[in-house]
């Protein structure tokens, strides 16, 4: 939520008005007492009498007019300032409403996107997976019946088995990218562990470490999938683009006093070549992560580390609940 910097506490405003009125009243009586005590009017008349030809005795009237004109001028400026202040407050309220609407739409978009991915992953697994399995069974049957089939048929069956194995692997990878394995059943920490196992197999020269909470926590579906996508983005940047040799991921929970709740804190840190701040800010992947995290009411930081490498940090508030 955007802070309202123009609002002023009513109690402080009333105290300020009363204080100013009290000062004016005190000065009024002090000036009146001084004028009566020292006969300032007579003194002014005596001082201006030698300069009657210059009409200096009319100076009080001129000064009174100047004071009245300045009062009118200040009043007009105050009215214009009040109008501008009301217009600014109205614009801030509209901007705040638009910001809240944008956050809500982003959350709805993430939720719908993940629902669609989950449904697509389920259909790929159930429908396409079963069909491929049926083809593979027939091909294996053809291949194993070597005595009854010619050599060419046996080779064809072997090719079918190889193709089906390849397609099954592709489907498995697609399903894993659409919906992280184990996220719904085992939780975020287990899904991150499973993801890191795949990276360790693909890139054995890179060390991947993960530190998770002692007790599995459920941060909510939107927060879980957003934090997992951030892990994927951080691993991709670190291992493929930054040429990192060591990647450390840390997931923890902290108190968020400003929001009176707990927050999930995910840190992805590597020792790679790093990324220049301007290019990091323009990266579509990091921009997308920032939008998704901020849509959940959290904060996202990305930047180079002083001693080398790059770090991503996401903080997302959540309602306290255990898995």
- Block residue for tokens 């059943």: 185
CA 262/CA 291 separation, integer angstroms: 20
Query: What is the reported pLDDT for 266?
Result: 92
Share of the chain above pLDDT 70, in %: 77
Q: What is the largest CA-CA distance in the chain?
A: 141
Query: For residue 299, is pLDDT > 80?
Result: yes
Q: Report the CATH fold assignment for 183-318.
A: Heat Shock Protein 90 (3.30.565)
Dump the DSSP string for 125-188: IIIIHHHHHHHHHHHHHHHH-TTTS-HHHHHHHHHHHHHHHHHHHHHHHHHHHHS-TTHHHH-H
Share of the chain above pLDDT 90, in %: 6
Contact (Cβ atoms closer than 8 angstroms) between residue 260 and residue 294 = no
pLDDT tens digits, 58-84: 667 777 888 888 888 988 888 899 999
pLDDT tens digits, 179-229: 676 676 778 888 888 888 888 888 888 889 999 887 777 788 888 888 888
pLDDT tens digits, 267-284: 998 887 765 443 444 455
**272: closest CA among 313, 238, 235, 233?**
238
Contact (Cβ atoms closer than 8 angstroms) between residue 297 and residue 316 = yes
CA 137/CA 267 separation, integer angstroms: 45
Query: What is the reported pLDDT for 15?
Result: 72
Gyration radius of the chain over CA positions: 37
**240: closest CA among 278, 270, 264?**
270
Confidence of residue 176 (pLDDT cuts 50, 70, 90): low
Domain ranges in the chain are: 10-107, 113-178, 183-318
CA 185/CA 38 separation, integer angstroms: 92
Contacts of 236 (CB under 8 A, 6+ apart): 285
Average pLDDT, the chain: 77
pTM above 0.85, yes or no: no
Contact (Cβ atoms closer than 8 angstroms) between residue 242 and residue 270 = yes
- Block residue for tokens 């180079």: 304
CA 118/CA 179 separation, integer angstroms: 6
Query: What is the reported pLDDT for 258?
Result: 66
Region of poorest pLDDT, from 116-130, 153-167, 288-302: 116-130
**DSSP assigned state of 241:** I
The whole-number average pLDDT for the span 246-271 is 84
Output the CA–CA distances (angstroms, integers) from residue 315 to 9, 126, 204, 226, 301, in the order listed: 31, 36, 30, 11, 9
């Amino acid at each position: 939520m955007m802070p309202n910097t123009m609002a002023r506490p009513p109690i402080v405003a009333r105290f300020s008005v009363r204080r100013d009125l009290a000062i004016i009243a005190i000065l009024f009586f002090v000036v009146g007492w001084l004028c009566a005590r020292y006969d300032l009017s007579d003194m002014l008349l005596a001082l201006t009498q030698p300069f009657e030809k210059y009409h200096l005795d009319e100076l009080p009237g001129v000064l009174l007019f100047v004071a009245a004109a300045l009062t009118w001028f200040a009043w007009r400026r105050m009215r214009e300032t009040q109008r501008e202040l009301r217009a600014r407050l109205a614009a801030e309220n509209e901007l705040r409403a638009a910001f809240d609407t944008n956050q809500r739409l982003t959350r709805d978009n993430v939720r719908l996107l993940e629902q669609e991915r989950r449904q697509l992953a389920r259909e790929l697994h159930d429908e396409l997976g079963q069909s491929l399995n049926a083809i593979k069974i027939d091909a294996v049957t053809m291949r194993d019946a070597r005595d009854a089939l010619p050599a060419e048929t046996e080779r064809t069956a072997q090719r079918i088995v190889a193709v089906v194995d390849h397609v099954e692997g592709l489907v498995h990878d697609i399903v894993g990218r659409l919906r992280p394995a184990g996220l719904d059943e085992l939780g975020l920490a287990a899904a991150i562990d499973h993801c890191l196992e795949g990276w360790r197999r693909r890139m054995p020269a890179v060390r991947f470490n993960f530190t998770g909470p002692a007790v599995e926590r459920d941060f909510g579906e939107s927060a879980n999938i957003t934090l997992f996508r951030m892990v994927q983005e951080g691993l991709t940047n670190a291992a493929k683009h930054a040429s990192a040799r060591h990647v450390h991921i840390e997931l923890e929970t902290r108190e968020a006093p400003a929001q009176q709740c707990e927050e999930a804190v995910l840190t992805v840190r590597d020792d790679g070549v790093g990324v220049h701040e301007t290019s990091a800010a323009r990266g579509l992947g990091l921009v997308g992560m920032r939008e998704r995290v901020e849509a959940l009411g959290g904060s996202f930081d990305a930047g180079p580390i002083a001693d080398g490498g790059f770090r991503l940090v996401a903080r997302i508030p959540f309602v306290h609940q255990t898995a």
